[in-house]
Amino acid sequence: MRFGRQDAMALLYEWTKGESLRKHGLAVSVCTESYGRREAEKLGLTGAEVEAFAEPYACAGLLHDMDYERHPSLEEHPFVGVEHLRGLGWPESILHAILAHADYSGTPRASHLDKALFACDELAGFLTACALVKPSKSIHDVEVASVKKKMKDKAFARAVKREDITAGAELLGVPLEEHLANCLRAMQERAEELGLENGA
């Protein structure tokens, strides 16, 4: 195993049969990966180096809820998945980020990857919800201003914790509006893969 995107995708599909949880993993991956690229560019990396730097971000996104369908309890998620991944030899940096995305794990959000995964988890779900209420069901029809408005509407997508979105932006040191725009753009660029293209 090369511990890359394809391996992560295969594991996600093996462990998760539900369409919406698969799509959630992919959406979180797309957003988290975009922060990996951003960070790589900040560090002065170029070309293939950027790809290599961003790959663990993409994998962490794909794998973070991998065990949730089979092991949804607070005692088991994400610990069972992390143990399985550790047994396969996945890098500790990815495992740390997966543990740290769960508040109750006691694992601090220390690395940039830890922070990016946490910051993108709830937001990717929220942006998906924003797209699905559009008549087109397209992420291209979602705008930052309407996302901000919906964040204040408690009745909308009530399972999504707004405070995690704002805390995530703070952790990353990015203004909230910029965080919303970054993730929205990342999802728009890969809308087809996410099933959030026009008419999908």
Q: Kindly list the residues in this chain that would bind Fe ion in the complex (CB under 5 A).
A: 65, 121
CA-to-CA distance for 133 and 121, rounded, in angstroms? 19
- Give 65 or 67: the residue with its C-beta nearer to Fe ion: 65
Nearer to Fe ion, 40 or 194 (CB): 194
- How distant is the alpha carbon of residue 161 from its chain centre? 14
What value does the CA radius of gyration of the chain take, rounded to a whole number of Å? 16
Q: Provide the minimum distance between the beta carbon of 99 and Fe ion in the complex, in angstroms, as a whole number.
A: 13
25, 90, 39, 103: CA torsion to nearest 10: 60
CA atoms within 13 A on the CB side of 84: 20
Largest Cα separation within the chain, whole Å, is 45
Using the minimum distance from each CB to Fe ion, give the nearer residue, 33 or 40. Answer: 33
* 27 contact partners, CB below 8 Å, separation of at least 6: 124, 125, 127, 128, 187, 194
Q: Between residues 28 and 147, which has the closer beta carbon with respect to Fe ion?
A: 28
C-alpha 93 chain-centroid distance: 16
Nearer to Fe ion, 24 or 40 (CB): 24
Shortest distance in whole angstroms from residue 63 CB to Fe ion: 10
Considering the complex, what minimum distance in angstroms separates the CB of residue 76 from Fe ion?
A: 15
Peptide bond into 78 cis (omega under 30): yes
Nearer Cβ to Fe ion (33/65): 65
Residue 199 CB, nearest approach to Fe ion (Å): 26
Shortest reach from residue 25's CB to Fe ion, in Å? 7
Least spacing, CB of residue 24 vs Fe ion, in Å:
6
Helices (H), 1-143: 5-15, 19-42, 48-63, 79-88, 92-100, 112-132
